[in-house]
Structure 1
């Protein structure tokens, strides 16, 4: 718990140092939101495993805690420092093609929480992960006043109005805010547009989509927009991508069938915000909504993802077993081969298929000692033959 408190304190201290610079642009907006952003960062420190973020990384992202739409490249622990990108093009230029997974976090929407969740996912798959910062702006204040993102989802028709107000108030233009998104851009949030742009970019190839809490809603909205705008790209992506939702069960487009919904056994908050017609694929025992491994009742993201991916890999190997089946030779046989000269191809005996009948015939031809049959042998002979 000490490391979590230290990371949070360092982040907030560095954030305070950068406040004068941020006040030079949109001072009223930043002064209005700063206290709430600090609160949300503290919430993310409780709900996410922020101790996996190094002090250098926490200091690096402190000035962009609420930079909605910005993208981070987060490598596994010990695999280098995370990279913060302001636009999609910068993400590609700085190595975004290496990211095998795209994640979206929820709760406070801070860059610290998003980076921590992405680091947990990266530790599970062993490769860099991309994550989009949800941020916290004027639209989020109004949404929160209406009862939160999930309760407000039924009134999402008003969200574009709040987004436009936030832009007029001087919201920084990160992600794909500077692109002409047409009607879709007018009715979706900046973070959703950025996730949708990442999924639709042919230069990128994601094999895993993972979201937590509100992040699952972002992924779902982005996938629905992608299906409406680029049906071919959506079908192409659905063939290779696996989706894992953690903390809330949100409906994905029917094209994306490889979805695993994970929720904690004690997660009443996630249940309250989940779609009731979707059943959980995995319930983690004694787990609540948070993923902070320093606290009791956490949902261990890294170990749960490893288990899910290992199960999927085992299933794939089982299906391909007939084509990949290889029988290893005994060591004695290998040793004998090295001592004697290898026979020519014409001298090799003709191999017969290794069926049960041929194996019994081969053993019956050898001079074996007479061994009385056991009770197991008798019962085995009385059983009907199994189909091959």
Structure 2
């Protein structure tokens, strides 16, 4: 718990140092929101495993804690430092093409919480993860006043109106804020537009989408928008991507059938914001909504994702290595029997063992073994559609 407290304190101290610079632009807006942003960062320190973020990384992202739409590249622990990008093009230039997973966090919407959740996912797959910062602005204050903290899924229709008000108040433009997306872009929030742009970009190849809490709503909205804008790209993505939702069950487009919904056994908060008609695929015993491994009742994101991906890998189409048996030629004598090797029709084929190493290699190479192109998923088989 000490490391969590230290990371939070360092982040808030560094954030205070950058306040004069931020007040030079939209001073009223920033002064109004700063206390709430600090509060949300503290919430994320409780709900997310922020100790996996190094002090250097926490200091680095402190000035962009509420930069909605910005993108981070988060490698696994012990590797390179995370990278903060303000635009999609910067993300691609700075190595975003190596990311094999896209994450979206919820709760306070801070960059610290998003980075911590993405690091948990990166540790599970052994590869860099892209994550979009949800931020906290005027639109969030209004949504929260309407009860959005508890019923965010049911208020998504009002959210775009609040986003317009935030833009008028001088919100900094990150991500794909200047995207000319027409009517669909106009009714989407900034973080949703950024997630959709990442999924639509042919230069990027994500094999996993992982969300927690409100982040699942962002992923769902982005996928629905993508299906409306580019049906061919959505169909291509649906054939190769796996979606894992943590903490809330949100309806995904029917095209995306490879969805695993995970929720804690004690997670009443997640149940309140989940769609009741969607069954949970996994209920984690003695787990609540938070993922902070320093606290009791946490949902261990890294180990849960490893288990899900390893289980999916075991359903790969196996390479058959037929067992052998001996058939003697009838004309041969007992002293000099000539043996002919033929496949046995009765003995079962050998199955290659699936390991976490194979899952990590699949992410790092961008391909899965023995799966035809454009039909690859973590199971190697076409799964029946899941009711969403």
Same fold (TM over 0.5): yes
* Aligned match of 1:325: 321
Counterpart Cα distance in 1 of 2:94 and 2:24: 28
Any residues of structure 2 matched to 1:218-237 within 5 Å, and which? Answer: 218-237=218-237
TM-score (normalizing by structure 1): 0.84
| C-alpha separation in 2, matches of 1:13 and 1:118 | 23
Structure with the greater alpha carbon radius of gyration: 1
Aligned length: 335
CA displacement 1:301-328 (0-9 Å, x = unmatched): 0000000000000011xxx22x342779
User: Residues 152 and 273 of structure 2 are in contact (CA less than 8 Å); yes or no, is this contact kept in structure 1?
Assistant: no
Aligned partner of 2:189 in structure 1 is 189
Q: Unaligned stretches of 5+ in structure 1? A: 329-347, 358-388
**1:75–1:81 CA contact under 8 A, matched in 2:** yes
1:350 aligns with 2:336: no
Matches within 5 A, 1:110-129: 110-129=110-129
**Runs of 4 or more consecutive aligned structure 1 residues displaced over 6 Å after TM superposition:** none
Change (3 A) 1:155 1:127: closer
Query: What pairs up with 1:149-188 in 2 under 5 angstroms?
Result: 149=149, 151-188=151-188
Shift of residue 298, structure 1, vs aligned partner: 0.2
Number of the residue aligned with 1:293: 293
Judge conservation of contact 2:153–2:217 (CA < 8 Å) in 1.
no
Whichever structure has more helix as a proportion of its residues is 1
Give the equivalent residue in structure 2 for 1:376.
Answer: none
Contact kept in structure 2, 1:247 and 1:263, CA below 8 Å: yes
Deviations 1:1-50 (A, max 9, x none): 00000000000000000000000101000000000000000000000000
The 1:325–1:140 alpha-carbon spacing in structure 2 relative to 1, beyond 3 Å, is same
2:323–2:344 CA contact under 8 A, matched in 1: no
Q: How does 1:107-146 map to 2 (within 5 A)?
A: 107-146=107-146
Q: Which residue of 1 aligns with 2:58?
A: 58
Matches within 5 A, 1:197-276: 197-276=197-276
Shift of 1:168: 1.2
- Mapped to 1, the partners of 2:55 and 2:219 lie a distance apart of 29
Match of 2:43 in 1: 43
Name the TM-score, length of structure 2 as normaliser.
Answer: 0.84
SS in 2 for 1:239: helix
What do the CA deviations read for 1:237-289 (whole angstroms, capped 9, x no partner)?
Answer: 00010000000000000000000000000000001110000010000000000
Larger displacement relative to structure 2 (155-164 or 271-280): 155-164
CA distance in 1, matches of 2:154, 2:39: 26
Unmatched tracts of structure 2, length 5 or more: 325-337, 348-388
SS in 1 for 2:252: coil
